[in-house]
C-alpha cells in the first residue's frame, strides 16, 4: 500500500513536471546592479530589463602601447521576483565598439560569467581580431565571442524569488608591437532558463 501510494505520488509529480516544461518563468526585477573595473570608472548606463540588459559605456577604451592595453568592466547584478524552481544562464554576449589595429597588433576580448554563490564555476566567451596584413584596420566591430562550453547556471530560485548574484566581466586586451586602440560602446547579453 505504502509503495503503491508512493508510486502514485511519483507519477503525479512526474506529469506535473512534464506539464510545466512549456511554462515560462517570470522576468525577475533587477534589485541591484553595480560595476567595477578600469573600463567603468564612471558607471555605464544601464537600459533594458533582466531579459535584455544593455550597458552603454562612457569610458571603456584600451590603448597600445601604454598602461591601458588591458581594460575591464565587471557588472554585478541581483534580482528578485524570479519563479520558484527555475534557474538561468547567460546564453550569449555581444559587444559593440570601434577598433584601430596597425599591422602586427591584435585585439582579444574575454567575457567571463559566474555567480557569487559558486565563483569557481566560470564560463568564458573569447574572440581575437588580428591584423596580419599590411594596412591599418580602422572600423566598427561587433564582438560575439565563442563560449568555452562550460555553461554556468544560477542557483535554483527558491520561494523568496532571489536569482543569486550574476557577475559578467568583460575584458579587452591589445597586443603587438605597434599602435592599437579599442573603444567599447555597448554590451548586451541574452539569458536562457531551465527548471531545476
Ligand X SMILES: *[C@@H]1O[C@H](CO)[C@@H](O)[C@H](O)[C@H]1NC(C)=O
**Binding stretches for ligand X (CB under 6 A):** 38, 41, 59, 63, 66-68, 100, 133-134, 136, 138
Cell representation of residue 172: 579587452
Q: Of the two residues 119 and 133, which places its CB atom closer to ligand X in the complex?
A: 133
Residue 3: strand, helix, or coil: helix
Q: Of the two residues 98 and 126, which places its CB atom closer to ligand X in the complex?
A: 98
Question: Which of 105, 142, 140, 146 lies closest to 125, judged by CA?
Answer: 146
Give every CB contact of residue 66 below 8 A, 6+ residues apart in sequence: none
Q: Of the two residues 38 and 122, which places its CB atom closer to ligand X in the complex?
A: 38
Give every CB contact of residue 149 below 8 A, 6+ residues apart in sequence: none
Please state the closest distance from residue 44 (CB atom) to ligand X, in A: 13
Rounded CA-CA distance 158/79 in Å is 13
Q: Of the two residues 114 and 181, which places its CB atom closer to ligand X in the complex?
A: 181
Please state the closest distance from residue 176 (CB atom) to ligand X, in A: 14
Please state the closest distance from residue 112 (CB atom) to ligand X, in A: 21
Please state the closest distance from residue 154 (CB atom) to ligand X, in A: 31
Amino acid at each position: 500500500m505504502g509503495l503503491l501510494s508512493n508510486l502514485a505520488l511519483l507519477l503525479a509529480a512526474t506529469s506535473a513536471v512534464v506539464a510545466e516544461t512549456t511554462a515560462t518563468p517570470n522576468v525577475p526585477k533587477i534589485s541591484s546592479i553595480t560595476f567595477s573595473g578600469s573600463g567603468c570608472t564612471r558607471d555605464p548606463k544601464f537600459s533594458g530589463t533582466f531579459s535584455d540588459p544593455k550597458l552603454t559605456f562612457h569610458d571603456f577604451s584600451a590603448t597600445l602601447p601604454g598602461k591601458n592595453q588591458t581594460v575591464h568592466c565587471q557588472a554585478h547584478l541581483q534580482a528578485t521576483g524570479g519563479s520558484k524552481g527555475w534557474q538561468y544562464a547567460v546564453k550569449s554576449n555581444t559587444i559593440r565598439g570601434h577598433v584601430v589595429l596597425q599591422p602586427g597588433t591584435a585585439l582579444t576580448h574575454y567575457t567571463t560569467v559566474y555567480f557569487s554563490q559558486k565563483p569557481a564555476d566560470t564560463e568564458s566567451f573569447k574572440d581575437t581580431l588580428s591584423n596580419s596584413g599590411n594596412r591599418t584596420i580602422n572600423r566598427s566591430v561587433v564582438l560575439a565571442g565563442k563560449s568555452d562550453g562550460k555553461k554556468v547556471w544560477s542557483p535554483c530560485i527558491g520561494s523568496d524569488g532571489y536569482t543569486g548574484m550574476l557577475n559578467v566581466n568583460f575584458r579587452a586586451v591589445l597586443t603587438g608591437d605597434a599602435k592599437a586602440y579599442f573603444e567599447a560602446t555597448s554590451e548586451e547579453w541574452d539569458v536562457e532558463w531551465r527548471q531545476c
